[in-house]
Amino acid sequence: MQNVVNRRWLLTRYPEGMPAPDNWVMDTQPVPDPGPGQILVKAKWLSVDPYMRGRMSPASNYAKGVGLGEVMQGGGVGEVVASNHPAWRVGDTAESMSFGWQEWSVLVPDIPGPSGVNRIDPALAPIESSLSWLGMPGLTAYFGLLEVGRPRPGDTVVVSAASGAVGQLVGQIAKLAGSRAVAIAGSDDKLNWCREIGFEGAINYKKAVDLTAAVKEACPARVDIFFDNTAGPIHDAVMRNLNIGARVVICGRVAVADQFGKPDIGERFNGQLIVTRATMHGFLVFDWWHRRNEALQRLANWHRAGQIRFKEDVLDGIERMPEGFLRLLQGKNFGKQIIRIG
């Protein structure tokens, strides 16, 4: 591509604690050419997600960190503008978690699993849905709740970060399963949205004087499923309210994201786990990738039937990638944070 540049964000410094805008710099490069078996994709939407905090480290957790000077890792969706792959044509819509924080990306469709490339049907839903309810966050809610949490009619399901990308779907899928969902979130506006989409209980963790008491009051029959997106003090308050045979889905730790690599804070609940015979289960959506199509089909059906709704929080311009990511860690996003590139 002559005379066209690729603006991209490079990670230049590993944060200690909370990341800051100067952890990245934007540079410009000529748009790359795709090699054999590769496609060139122009981004239309990019995603920012809490897991990116884990990539801003030389250490690995379940995946390798981004190296200093490398393009920041992240998912995106856009239009194929050149193809050296027999199954992909110019004009197709491609989504991938290997996109990176950049305007143009060379992708390898034949990589299997979560790092590969997915074909998106623009007729099914707006293409940015493939980064939110019809993509990785949707799959996280679907498998985390249905396969690990195993909701039953009448169960009480407590969800932390409930208005976020994963949380708002967990509550709605819990309702579809006949359970009673209780939201924990950080503002009254967010909790009003949670009520609107079907959560029956709501707790503002920033206002509650005694969070354990607030959970007890909102869950008179105690907690059968705890879908934990935050860890930290919210985790402790909900764990004190478990029911016999409860299931605890350990999905994320955004409340301690600035303490990457360190143990979680707070109490240990081994005594409570024995008394309640509860099951606590660490969960990673990528272990369920082989059932991706089945889950997306069901999510699409629910959406078409008006049984799930979804809020997105849109920023415009690749310049705003660091800001968008930091908003997640500061709780400023209201719904799935995505960036419109053009």
Ligand X SMILES: NC(=O)c1ccc[n+]([C@@H]2O[C@H](COP(=O)([O-])OP(=O)(O)OC[C@H]3O[C@@H](n4cnc5c(N)ncnc54)[C@H](OP(=O)(O)O)[C@@H]3O)[C@@H](O)[C@H]2O)c1
Query: Which residues would be at the binding site for ligand X (CB under 6 A)?
Result: 49-51, 137, 140, 161, 163-167, 185-187, 190, 229-230, 232, 234, 251-255, 283-285, 328-329, 331, 333, 336
Output 92 or 313, the one with its CB closest to ligand X: 313
Q: Minimum distance from CB of 280 to ligand X (Å)?
A: 14
Report, in Å, the least distance between residue 160 CB and ligand X: 6
**Closest separation between CB of residue 35 and ligand X, Å?**
31
Nearer to ligand X among residue 42 and residue 190 (C-beta): 190
DSSP 264: P
Least separation in angstroms between residue 69's CB and ligand X is 25
Least Å distance, CB 166 to ligand X, is 4
- How far is it, in rounded angstroms, from Cα 22 to Cα 323? 11
Closer residue to ligand X in complex, CB, 140/179: 140
CA proximity to 150, closest of 185, 112, 179: 179
Cα–Cα separations (whole angstroms), residue 100 to 43, 111, 173, 231: 10, 16, 30, 27
The span from the CA of 4 to the CA of 26, in Å, is: 16
Q: Nearest approach, Cβ of 42 to ligand X (angstroms)?
A: 25
- Enclosing H/E stretch for 143: helix 136-143
Please say which residue, 137 or 201, places its beta carbon nearer to ligand X.
137
* Beta strands at 5-11 and 24-30: parallel, antiparallel or unpaired: antiparallel
Residue 295: phi and psi, rounded to 5, are -70, -45
The nearer residue to ligand X, 179 or 229, going by C-beta atoms, is: 229
Q: Which two tokens stand for residue 16?
A: 């200690």
Residue 225 near residue 247, CB atoms below 8 Å: yes
| Residues 244/266, Cβ–Cβ less than 8 Å | no
The residue (of 234 and 300) whose beta carbon lies closer to ligand X is: 234
DSSP letters along 180-202, please? EEEEEES-HHHHHHHHHTT-SEE
Instruction: Compute the least distance from the CB of residue 225 to ligand X, in Å.
Output: 15
6/130 with CB nearer ligand X? 130
Least Cβ distance, residue 295 to ligand X (angstroms): 13
CA distance 255 to 5: 37
Let me know: does 156 contact 225? Beta carbons within 8 Å. Answer: yes
For residue 134, how many other CB atoms are within 10 A of its CB? 24
What is the rounded CA–CA span in Å between residue 113 and residue 287?
A: 10
Answer yes or no: are the C-beta atoms of 36 and 24 closer than 8 Å. no
Nearer to ligand X, 12 or 187 (CB): 187
Nearest distance, CB of residue 332 and ligand X, angstroms: 7
What are the strands of the beta sheet with 242-250, ordered from one edge? 201-204, 180-185, 156-160, 223-228, 242-250, 279-282
Site of tokens 């995946």: 63
Based on CB atoms, which residue is closest to ligand X, 253 or 303? 253
